[in-house]
Structure 1
Amino acid sequence: MEQWGSAVRVKGLSGRWSERSRLVKVDLYTRGTIYLVIWSAVSVVAALLVLQSATGTLSPLPALAAVALTLAHGLVCARLARRAMDTYLGQDEVPRGLLGWATALTCAESFVALLLVRSGTPEALEALPGLLSCVVLPLSAGYALLVRNRVTALAHLGVLAAVFALTSLTGMGLGQRIFTAVFVTFASAWLAWTGRASLWVLAVMWELREARDVQARLAVAEERLRFGRDLHDVLGRNLAVVALKSELAVQLARRGRPEAVDQMLEVQQIAQDSQREVREVVRGYREADLRAELEGARSVLEAAGITCTVVLGRLELPGEVESTLGWVVREAATNVLRHGDPRRCTISVGEVDGTALLVVENDGAGPHPAPAASATPAASAASAPERPGTGLAGLRERLSAVGGELETDSGRTGRFRLLARIPLDPTGTGTGGGIGRERAADGGGNTTIGGGTG
């Protein structure tokens, strides 16, 4: 797991209980349960040593040394368990040195338990299976989290053989030795597997939490991209028209023509419309209407002195497809204004083999020198520097979202061609309202919306 996830956990594990999330509470509950098992086992061994000292079976000095060894064993194994849990969750490295110390102390504690039973009463001999289990459990809790399951299984086979061999020092019968070895191995394996299973569930929960956080960040990033793309598409054409009409107003004003005031009033209206559209973009409600965009593109291009012909085929489009094509028309018209010095532009919308097609073709493509004072406003607007490709990249993203694609071609003859394809559903009608209903009464065929000159 990544360091970012670890930082979230460390932050989440602090604070008051009521302020923690349910996942953090589960984490603390799991860790606390393992610690409780470890210290319960240590407490049983320590209590037995104190009891042996109180009854005179064990002298005070050896009893004190044995209790100190037991507490040291518990502290080291508890620290090993904490490091092992962090390692399993991807927050720490394998504590090899600590694992060695815990293993050594477990072996020493086992020998102490055997000597204690050998020198004690028959009742102590009967308690040997439980005593050895309490000695092995603290190590088993952490060890199983640091190695693979296969290694854990082999280690418990080793525990089975070791306990069976060491119990021969106590004078126990064969049946008692087998029972003790099986009992200790089962207790150790039980804690190992249940602890590992609990940590596995906890790790999955943390991964789901991190995946949800990543999903939230991706959603924010996608919203930022949407906002940037929509803002570019909305303001791109409007600013181009503002620049166009401002240039026209300047030329009219220099000639003393009263039409300059009308042009500036239109600039004011465009600015107000832009404010409204930007608010819609911020709220995420912005949709493009294909028919309105076609009319707007023709009007803007003809105002710039470009002959624009719009050919609209008879078709029904789903609302999402129609909106996407509307954005394509808007951006294409902006590119016609900004790039090159076109004189003619044709926009065609139709359907071929269940695919909606939008073709925008214009002449005058390619770089041109700076326009002279007598140049058309469109050429003046095209002279403004702009980083290429931003709008087209946004169109490709929009088309990709509905399964479409965008192609552009700039031929040697100075003509630029933009083609947008969007596959429709098998019926070819899609869902939602489309422009086909508005054209159904026209009697079929194509409809030419406009073709005048500016």
Structure 2
Amino acid sequence: MRTVAAVIATSTGGMLGTMVLEATGRVSQAVAPSVVLGAGYWAVGSLVLTLKIKRMKYVVPAAAAVTGLTAGALGLSAGEAVAYTVGMLIAGFFLALTCGFSGWLLTTVWELDRSRELRAQLAVAEERLRFGRDLHDVMGRNLAVIALKSELAVQLARRGRPEAVEQMIEVQRIAQESQREVRDVVRGYRQADLTVELEGARGVLSAAGIDCRVQRREQRTLPPTVQSALGWVVREATTNVLRHGEATTCLIRLAPGEAGALVLTVENDGVPAEAPGRPGSGLAGLRERLAVLDGTLEAGRIGGGRFRLRAEIPAWEMEDEAQVETGEVRA
């Protein structure tokens, strides 16, 4: 507002002073119009560049009216007042249009540059989130299994049991697998296979003394993106079963849902009355993965010391993926 006030005061003072000099005869009538209209044009252009678009339309009529009224008030003839008004109105309109377009163009260029910068920042942030989410999902279960098997190997070694060597060999294998998976995460190639994750969950939970049953009632061929998303759900659920509570049974079910949807359910017992510590980022990461496929994730206690994790992916996502793979496109 200070800029607007300064422009108005400066231009008005210049125009008023010139008209006074013209009315008193100190400035010739050939010079005065150029000075007055020049100051007015400068004011119009400056105000158009300063004000918002909604207020630009009032600048030229207001400047023309003020110029004409001022000329008449200072005793100039009616013809001179009308000439000032018309000159300011016509030339001011084209000048305002030019300045307004230039201001809009500069603003658009600035916003475009800003949007590109924000897009680059969002891309970097998204990549960081992806890396952190994948690293958590990859290392969470493997570290839990390594800790479990290492503890078992220590107990067996103290008793002089030869099975301790087998457990440490398994720990070594899991550690090497973790190294490979971390490299895949860094390269951005990491994909989870649902079948492999289901069998892995059965083996890991069984090795921990948990009665794990896997029921796969879904016979459709699942697209890679769906398998990857559900594979991460199985991996995170397995990690949570191992880390939290003292589960003795676990049921993993993959079955069709309503309207052709695909539902994955992981249910286990041995859930403590209160959640230990702060909630982790694993479930949030799973929700982000499923959201890409318009899927949903529900997790919570269901009574009787049991916990249920339920992931659902709608049918149209699997249809769209299948059509992309076969080159079909829906009309």
Shorter-chain TM-score range: 0.7 to 0.9
Work out whether 1:211 is the aligned partner of 2:102.
Answer: no
Cα deviations by residue, 1:131-169 (Å, 9 ceiling, x for unpaired): 432232222222333442243144133245236527963
Matching residue within 363, 383, 386 for 2:269: 363
Q: In the alignment, what sits opposite 1:103?
A: 11
Q: In the alignment, what sits opposite 1:419?
A: 310
Work out whether 1:388 is the aligned partner of 2:279.
Answer: yes
Q: In the alignment, what sits opposite 1:35?
A: none
Separation in 2 of the partners of 1:364 and 1:289? 28
Q: In the alignment, what sits opposite 2:328?
A: none
Paired residue type of 2:221:
E
Structure label with greater radius of gyration: 1
Work out whether 1:256 is the aligned partner of 2:164.
Answer: no
Contact 1:277 1:286 in 2 (8 A): yes
Q: With a CA cutoff of 8 Å and minimum separation of 6, indicate the structure with the bigger relative contact order.
A: 1
CA RMSD of aligned residues (A): 3.0
Separation in 2 of the partners of 1:433 and 1:333? 31
Matching residue within 287, 298, 304 for 1:407: 298
Of stretches 349-358 and 104-113 in structure 1, the one that deviates more from structure 2 is 104-113
Work out whether 1:342 is the aligned partner of 2:250.
Answer: no
Are residues 344 and 427 of structure 1, via their aligned partners in 2, closer, same or farther at CA, if it must alter by over 3 Å? closer
Separation in 1 of the partners of 2:240 and 2:26? 97
Q: How does 1:161-200 map to 2 (within 5 A)?
A: 161-162=68-69, 165=72, 169=76, 174=79, 178-200=82-104
Gaps of 5+ in 2: 326-331
Are residues 94 and 424 of structure 1, via their aligned partners in 2, closer, same or farther at CA, if it must alter by over 3 Å? farther
Cα deviations by residue, 1:94-145 (Å, 9 ceiling, x for unpaired): 33552354134323442366269x467xxx6456544432232222222333
Contact 2:254 2:265 in 1 (8 A): yes
Query: Per-residue deviation at 1:208?
Result: 2.4
Q: How does 1:231-250 map to 2 (within 5 A)?
A: 231-250=135-154
Separation in 1 of the partners of 2:5 and 2:60? 22
Percent identical residues: 47
Q: In the alignment, what sits opposite 2:63?
A: 156
What SS is found at the alignment partner of 2:322?
coil
Query: Per-residue deviation at 1:198?
Result: 1.2
Cα deviations by residue, 1:157-204 (Å, 9 ceiling, x for unpaired): 3245236527963x7x83x66444312332233323321221122112
Paired residue type of 1:334:
T
Cα deviations by residue, 1:311-367 (Å, 9 ceiling, x for unpaired): 112122222111100000101111111111112211111223310111111222225
Query: Per-residue deviation at 1:430?
Result: 4.1
Contact 1:408 1:417 in 2 (8 A): yes
Contact 1:113 1:132 in 2 (8 A): no
Cα deviations by residue, 1:58-89 (Å, 9 ceiling, x for unpaired): xxxxxxxxxxxxxxxxxxxxxxxxxxxxxxxx
Q: In the alignment, what sits opposite 2:220?
A: 315
Work out whether 1:266 is the aligned partner of 2:174.
Answer: no
Gaps of 5+ in 1: 1-92, 369-384, 435-454
Query: Per-residue deviation at 1:219?
Result: 2.0
Separation in 2 of the partners of 1:226 and 1:177? 70
Of stretches 267-276 and 385-394 in structure 1, the one that deviates more from structure 2 is 385-394
Paired residue type of 2:315:
L
Separation in 1 of the partners of 2:236 and 2:85? 79
Of stretches 208-217 and 289-298 in structure 1, the one that deviates more from structure 2 is 208-217
Q: In the alignment, what sits opposite 1:62?
A: none
Contact 1:318 1:429 in 2 (8 A): no
Separation in 2 of the partners of 1:281 and 1:232? 10
Query: Per-residue deviation at 1:284?
Result: 1.7
